[in-house]
Structure 1
Amino acid sequence: MLLLREEQRLITELLDILKQEQQSLVAADIDRLSALTPRKSELIGRMGVLAGERHTALAGAGFEAQEAGMENWLCAHGTADDRTLWNTVLSQTREAKELNRLNGMLINKQLSHTQGALQALRPPSPAGTVYGPTGLTATTTTSRGFLAG
């Protein structure tokens, strides 16, 4: 259960960082976002390692090396405190996934807004602009024949 307690500690810390990230996205505070990203990545990496260690321990005890195996282990060997801790980890994991999804939506909204602003600053492209055989833009000209009579 030591691994599970550490997972729960890390997911709690990740939730805090995701909430700070959301506040930074709403406030468009890029500096704060930049400061949060390395710690967020570190936590996610560490959580992956711990989940792998938990799966290995479950397999070594004769259970499936996945969440279903944890449920079976809890039924066979777990205490009420173990089950409560596991349910907390699952609940916090769902909350973190939802926060991350919402933060992704905020990022996409910011990106769309920024791209729109950049597009407004660009000069309009001339009519008839196409890509040539080299992949570069080439302006086509409309040629009107000259008829001599």
Structure 2
Amino acid sequence: MFQPTVQNLSIEQCLSDEVTAMSELASLLKKEQAALASNDIEALGITTAGKTELLRTIAGLEKIRSSKLVALGFNGKPEGMQSYFSQHPTETAQSSVLWEKLLSISEQAKEDNRTNGLLINRRLSHNQAALTVLGHGSSTGSLYGPTGQTTISAGSMKGMIPR
């Protein structure tokens, strides 16, 4: 997994590292989507751990880039990047390409993450429906109580002859 090692990165190098990390995140989101579709719990655990690490890396790189922009007199937000590019067009041509690539990959990753959230919500709904059926599907009451013991009540026993 990608890890930035140098805090003293140029804006261009920072953007390059962000593109690499964001590309890895986008790839991991696709793997997560496949794991969700196939109900592969083990793969989901791996992707969750990987996403957490990549998000830390991306946040760190974003912070470095923002600090660099501020040190140069620009806003540390995305609009500051645009100002930086417009004021230094010849020096920032490659950085501008990397920035556009980062924005594109980020947008796709955002969409994939939204899709994965929908898949997770669908799975949760199915699980909740199954629990509801188990808990309330019987006319005699709940199958299991809070202690985990069966709680099926005898209810009305009309027509039964007690022994």
**Would you say same fold, with TM above 0.5?**
yes
Aligned amino acid, residue 83 of structure 2: N
After superposition, the C-alpha distances for 1:71-92 in whole angstroms (9 at most, x for unaligned) are 1111122433221111000111
Partner of residue 98, structure 1:
111
Partner of residue 4, structure 2:
none
Aligned residue among 67, 70, 74 for 1:63? 74
Q: Which has the higher strand share?
A: 1
Which 5+ residue runs of structure 2 have no aligned equivalent? 1-11, 142-163
Q: Normalising by the residue count of structure 1, what TM-score does the alignment of the two structures yield?
A: 0.80
* Distance in 1 of aligned mates of 2:22 and 2:52: 12
Supply the RMSD in Å over aligned alpha carbons: 1.6
Partner of residue 120, structure 1:
133
Aligned amino acid, residue 39 of structure 2: A
* Distance in 1 of aligned mates of 2:40 and 2:121: 15
After superposition, the C-alpha distances for 1:57-108 in whole angstroms (9 at most, x for unaligned) are 1000000011000111111224332211110001111111111011001000
Q: Which has the higher helix share?
A: 1
1:47 aligns with 2:55: no
Which 5+ residue runs of structure 1 have no aligned equivalent? 128-149
Q: Normalising by the residue count of structure 2, what TM-score does the alignment of the two structures yield?
A: 0.74
Q: Secondary structure at the match of 1:122?
A: helix
Partner of residue 93, structure 2:
80
Aligned amino acid, residue 78 of structure 2: E
* Distance in 2 of aligned mates of 1:125 and 1:53: 62
* Distance in 1 of aligned mates of 2:75 and 2:95: 18
Aligned residue among 14, 18, 36 for 1:3? 14
Aligned amino acid, residue 105 of structure 2: Q
Distance 1:79 1:119, change over 3 A: same
1:28 Cα shift?
0.9
After superposition, the C-alpha distances for 1:25-72 in whole angstroms (9 at most, x for unaligned) are 111111110111111100011101111111111000000011000111
Partner of residue 41, structure 2:
30
User: How many residues are matched?
Assistant: 127
Q: Secondary structure at the match of 1:112?
A: helix
* Distance in 2 of aligned mates of 1:36 and 1:68: 32
Question: Identity of paired residues, percent?
Answer: 38
* Distance in 2 of aligned mates of 1:37 and 1:125: 41
Aligned amino acid, residue 135 of structure 2: R
1:125 Cα shift?
7.7
* Distance in 1 of aligned mates of 2:129 and 2:139: 15
